Chain A
């Protein structure tokens, strides 16, 4: 199956802001939900272009769906792709620092 190339704006879906993600930021690691079709290179390119920073490395995790039950209905959460982006020393993503 041929995959169409993703535009850079479609790669990053949202930053993940959780307690754990904020702890990682102290190590210059930023967590994003990314397009399921994205790969490490695309994520790196997207972060570098959109936030004007240099990326040291990207780790990608495929998050598995979790079973969920609501009353008599059984189901599962959606699967999604998580990217942990480590920036090179001296860089931060100001847009995500909550300085509004």
Chain B
């Protein structure tokens, strides 16, 4: 077999394979063995049809089978090339003692990574976030440690109402009966709850609702109305939350620690996402238009198969606009993936089995299975293992890059103005 590079356009290479008589004879033998199991010709027992008879009876079809078996030799020659798409056969012919196959391969494109320090990511001011977190948690604790006092008067904002809710269908049959507790807020507008405002112990509220064409009657009987007294923010609140706390400061310190753990995890994740989003800006890529065109077409075909294409395109000015944006998005995704791969290789970053197991253990609750089951699942399924390996690798590379980017400290959202933050790092 001779392989010749006919054409190269960035990452796209056109290869010509020419097979000799010996390879063709071997492929023909394979085709004969294959066809003998599937073809029946009168006068011959199954599996006993000679090559010449098959050639004569099947004609071009036999040639196609022979070419198929010849093409089985191609993947081995592509082992050293990293491909972004499956090879595409553009020409194939078998004539007498030579066969020729032309294959278009799309290699992973080369990337040039620019200056990482030009990327800027935002980090929300830690002190301010934690301050707000502690405030909010203390308010929550006040709410959950409120002192309840039964009252005779009507329910008003701030009160807690305990009701027994019974649901009846159109025929008057009782479907359910359950107790609920609601805290009435200022400008209460929740369904059912707003109807309890002003009601006293023993009052009954009947509400009719229609769901899917059926009428239901909700009977809410007020069992008790409580006046809630929120505890003062002070040492007493701290003591009631946990015996270990003597002072409010100790409670605040503990809440701050709790908040810091959440902040660290979330902020790191947010910074990784920002970096990943901006990464394509500093990357130059050598990719052929044809590769992109095929990838765009594949994505569109996938959307069409899933029946989502029309709906998505309708939110764009035209199909052309959608194609353009899709192309940009695919290009950015390739840039990101290539940067992660290239840097992982350059810096010697890899993922070992131990890390995969740990990741599986951490994901087990999200998958709704036991950690052991998650570990064995990852061991057994290569696709899953590859998915996790990629996620971990990406995280490791991004964490390394985060040490080089510019970090801008910003105010927490929804508070203060959008003034320029101070620069860090």
Do residues B56 and A100 form an inter-chain contact, with CB atoms below 8 A? yes
* CB of A17 closer than 8 Å to a CB of B: yes
Shortest distance between the CB of A84 and any CB in chain B (Å):
15
16 contacts between A and B (CB under 8 A): A16-B43, A17-B56, A18-B44, A19-B43, A19-B44, A19-B48, A20-B43, A22-B53, A97-B52, A98-B50, A98-B51, A98-B53, A98-B55, A98-B56, A100-B55, A100-B59
List residues of B (321-355) whose CB comes within 8 Å of A's CBs: none
* CB of A4 closer than 8 Å to a CB of B: no
Q: Which residues of B come within 8 Å of A, CB atoms?
A: 42-45, 48-53, 55-56, 59
* CB of A46 closer than 8 Å to a CB of B: no
Do residues B55 and A17 form an inter-chain contact, with CB atoms below 8 A? no
In Å, the complex CA distance between A21 and B49 comes to 12
Tell me which of A16, A21, A99 contacts B52 (CB under 8 A): A99
In Å, the complex CA distance between A21 and B48 comes to 13
**With a CB–CB cut-off of 8 A, which chain A residues contact B42?**
18
Residues 86-100 of chain A, each 1 if its beta carbon lies under 8 Å from chain B, else 0:
000000000001111
Do residues A21 and B43 form an inter-chain contact, with CB atoms below 8 A? yes
Do residues B52 and A18 form an inter-chain contact, with CB atoms below 8 A? no
In Å, the complex CA distance between A82 and B55 comes to 25
In Å, the complex CA distance between A21 and B45 comes to 13
> How many residues of chain A are within 8 Å of chain B by beta carbon?
11
Q: Which residues of A come within 8 Å of B, CB atoms?
A: 16-22, 97-100
Shortest distance between the CB of A36 and any CB in chain B (Å):
21
In Å, the complex CA distance between A99 and B96 comes to 11
In Å, the complex CA distance between A11 and B43 comes to 22
Shortest distance between the CB of B321 and any CB in chain A (Å):
55
**With a CB–CB cut-off of 8 A, which chain B residues contact A99?**
52
**With a CB–CB cut-off of 8 A, which chain A residues contact B48?**
19
Shortest distance between the CB of B306 and any CB in chain A (Å):
47
In Å, the complex CA distance between A18 and B41 comes to 9
Shortest distance between the CB of B48 and any CB in chain A (Å):
5
**With a CB–CB cut-off of 8 A, which chain A residues contact B53?**
17, 22, 98
**With a CB–CB cut-off of 8 A, which chain B residues contact A22?**
50, 53
Shortest distance between the CB of B226 and any CB in chain A (Å):
87
Shortest distance between the CB of A88 and any CB in chain B (Å):
23
In Å, the complex CA distance between A16 and B42 comes to 10
Shortest distance between the CB of B94 and any CB in chain A (Å):
13
Nearest neighbor of B50 in chain A, beta-carbon distance: A22
Shortest distance between the CB of B50 and any CB in chain A (Å):
6
In Å, the complex CA distance between A22 and B42 comes to 13
In Å, the complex CA distance between A46 and B51 comes to 28
Nearest neighbor of B55 in chain A, beta-carbon distance: A98
**With a CB–CB cut-off of 8 A, which chain B residues contact A100?**
55-56, 59
Question: Beyond the given A99-B52, A100-B55, could you list 10 further A-B residue pairs with CB under 8 A, ordered by the A residue number?
Answer: A19-B44, A19-B48, A19-B49, A21-B43, A97-B52, A98-B51, A98-B52, A98-B55, A100-B56, A100-B59
In Å, the complex CA distance between A18 and B40 comes to 12
In Å, the complex CA distance between A22 and B45 comes to 12
In Å, the complex CA distance between A22 and B51 comes to 12
Tell me which of A18, A97, A98 contacts B43 (CB under 8 A): A18
Shortest distance between the CB of B28 and any CB in chain A (Å):
12
In Å, the complex CA distance between A70 and B397 comes to 74
Nearest neighbor of B51 in chain A, beta-carbon distance: A98
Interface centre among A19, A21, A100 (most CB of B within 10 A): A19
**With a CB–CB cut-off of 8 A, which chain B residues contact A17?**
43, 53, 56
Shortest distance between the CB of A83 and any CB in chain B (Å):
16
Nearest neighbor of B59 in chain A, beta-carbon distance: A100
Nearest neighbor of B44 in chain A, beta-carbon distance: A19
Interface centre among A21, A22, A100 (most CB of B within 10 A): A22
In Å, the complex CA distance between A19 and B43 comes to 6
In Å, the complex CA distance between A17 and B51 comes to 13
**With a CB–CB cut-off of 8 A, which chain A residues contact B50?**
22, 98
**With a CB–CB cut-off of 8 A, which chain A residues contact B43?**
16-21
